[in-house]
Chain A
Amino acid sequence: MAVEADLPKSVSKVGEELAEPIIEARGLKKHFPVKRGPMARTEWLRAVDGLDFSLGRDTVFALVGESGCGKSTVARLLLKLLEPTSGEMLFRGRDIAPLRGDALKAYRRAVQIIFQDPFASLNPRRNVLDTLSEPMKIHGLAEPSQYEIRVLELLSKVGMGDVLGRYPHEFSGGQRQRICIARALAVSPEVIVADEPLSALDVSIQAQILNLLQDLRSESGISFIFISHDLRVVEYFSDEVAVMYLGKIIEQAPSVELFKEPRHPYTEVLLASSPGLEPGAKKRAVLGGEVPSPIHIPSGCPFHPRCPKKFSPCDKVVPRLQATSGRPVACHLWNPY
């Protein structure tokens, strides 16, 4: 566009920076040892089994999948609460594994988390002022005399008033989740990992929190890794969606395309399994079987025992996440093996 040509150089440099991912996972794996009984041989639970993805600036990247697919392990790897078995997690192009001391502290400031259960993730013995000034104290972001003012600012950002002296038990679930969000915002992070932030809340409160996250996103340009099992919410909030099954991404696409045209048979079933709101509409598709244990991942395509469209190569050849047909899908139907 003509406008772009007229922009000064520094602006186009910002544009370049925009394209560079903030967070990138390369061949990320996390296997946990499992030993059943003293004489048993150690088995490996492959929670995350080779992930590649990248998170751009100002985007919401959603990880969806059923319980046990490894999405929360990814969140913990991202926060460096767990060390990967192999592969790496990059923050602005640098591996986070060797980070220690000040560098780690800076990373922790840049990447914050909101947990699922706002009842368990606030200290019941600390009032709101203590809870929200703690991050500023740790990272030296404000003078102690400024704490009150800063905390009040944070609270107003999340739609709450002067509740400085109150304790978690005095709040409802939705209000607690607002406090958790304020706590994440206290250090002006670049990335927020939101691990099922709505699932403990009632529908009407979910909508309030979702609106709040949407506002934060457009005002502050924070990127989100949004982990959820609720596809309606994911469709509403995210730009890019990765569907996980047994530790692997099996399909990844911009949200609009994924919901319009799911390609992997699992994604199709997942979308068809969430109930619509039209009474008398077609009954949802029912997928038989259950997710196998991540200790004994089926051979070939991990989804093949449940897949309604499996054919000869599926139980032997592991499909790779390839974009042969324009979008990354790990399925032999889309990528001739």
Chain B
Amino acid sequence: MLLEARGLNIFLETRSGPLNIVNSIDLDIPPGGVFGLAGESGCGKSLTALAIMGILPQNLYATGEIRFKDRDLLVLPPEEFRALRGKEMAMVFQEPMTSLNPVLRVDYQIREVITTHMDVSRKEADGMVLELLRAVRSPSPEMRMREYPHQMSGGMRQRVMTAMAIACGPSLLIADEPTTALDVTIEAQILELLDTLRRERDMSVILITHDLGIIAENAETVGIMYAGRIVELAGVKELFEAPKHPYTMGLLRSLPHGRGEGLKPIRGTVPRPGDLPPGCKFSNRCDYVVGDCRKEEPGLRIIGDNHRARCIRAEDLKWP
């Protein structure tokens, strides 16, 4: 495995003590695949990514184990982590507008990644910047590299972000909602670009998104998150053809298919992290809830080949 997480917990420090936001996440990311992590806002998918990158905000901390190339990231000294971050693992963020520095030209920002991790001359670095902009299919890269972020469209900014992420040839790329701010035709371009780069450069990608369509199209394995937990983990085919967790089913039923067919939304709203129901965390919104669901939180059980779900009734539930 390229990356393994075991019992990853993330806590928020509050005045009344630590609050558990992400709960016992186990992940196995093999080299060279696309792992999709999906869920609604607040489910903990982005925090999981930040924990892997070691860039959780000050008031949050992670426990458990994250092994990347046989190093435990959670106990890695900061200097060693810095040498790793941006070089062997990199991240593309959702908002290319806010994650690029507005007062620096993009060539400076891409070059900074290169010179931080590699011992190259300015001239060599410039050549690499140009090469990277070509790799992300930027039109007229010689001109583009001298521009500031505000002169660029959202799609172009996301290409620059991607160029920065792949600059040092990472083996793991985390893309957190890389296309959420973009129009559909540009979204299709960026996703195709990520897929091409992944193949060309032999990277593993963790693709984080709320859009199940993007997951269906791009991921090989999928984890569905709810209230800080992975509630279903399966191959993409298994997940979409026969979802086993009521939350996944609810998400799929919430999406319109064609005209006027009744939508079945999930009732209620996502509970706050400090306010989760006892037992199964989805039990207060679940249509299939039984008494036992509220007693004890189910584990992520093996349901079938390449399929796990955190539900005691997973085997009885019919789909569609």
Q: Which residues of A contact B (CB under 8 A)?
A: 66-67, 172, 174-175, 202-208, 210-211, 229, 231-233, 235-237, 255-256, 259, 269-270, 273-281, 283-288, 290-291
Contact = CB atoms under 8 A, between A and B. Distances in A.
Contact of B187 (A174, A175, A207, A273): A273
B117 interface: no
B99 interface: no
23 contacts: A66-B185, A66-B186, A204-B251, A207-B253, A211-B265, A229-B184, A231-B184, A232-B255, A235-B258, A237-B256, A259-B259, A273-B184, A273-B185, A273-B188, A275-B211, A275-B216, A277-B255, A279-B216, A279-B217, A279-B219, A283-B192, A283-B217, A290-B153
Contacts, number: 121
Contact of B185 (A255, A269, A276, A281): A269
A204 B254 contact: yes
B30 to A, nearest CB: 18
Contact of B40 (A203, A269, A278): A203
Contacts of B262: 211
A206 B254 contact: yes
B184 A66 contact: yes
B61 interface: no
Nearest to A200: B41
B292 interface: no
Given A202-B40, A232-B256, A277 B210 contact: no
Contacts of A175: 269
B169 interface: no
A74 B258 CA distance: 26
A61 to B, nearest CB: 15
A236 B256 contact: yes
A286 B216 contact: no
A66 B183 contact: yes
Contacts of A277: 212-213, 216, 240, 252, 255, 257
Contacts of B291: none
B152 to A, nearest CB: 10
Contact of A276 (B187, B216, B253, B265): B216
A208 B40 CA distance: 14
Contact of B236 (A256, A275, A279): A279
Interface in B214-241: 214, 216-217, 219, 236-237, 239-241
Contact of A207 (B186, B212, B216, B264): B264
B263 A207 contact: yes
Contacts of B153: 290
B269 A172 contact: yes
Contacts of B241: 279
B259 A207 contact: no
Contacts of A231: 184
Contacts of B250: 204
Nearest to B195: A283
Contact of A203 (B186, B251, B258): B251
Contacts of A290: 153, 155-156, 186
A204 B256 contact: no
B266 interface: yes
Contact of A210 (B186, B236, B258, B263): B263
B189 interface: yes
B269 to A, nearest CB: 5
B197 to A, nearest CB: 14
Given A203-B254, A204-B265, A211-B263, A278 B216 contact: yes
B256 A210 contact: yes
B240 to A, nearest CB: 5
A68 to B, nearest CB: 9
B57 interface: no
A284 B256 contact: no
B260 interface: yes
B213 A207 contact: no
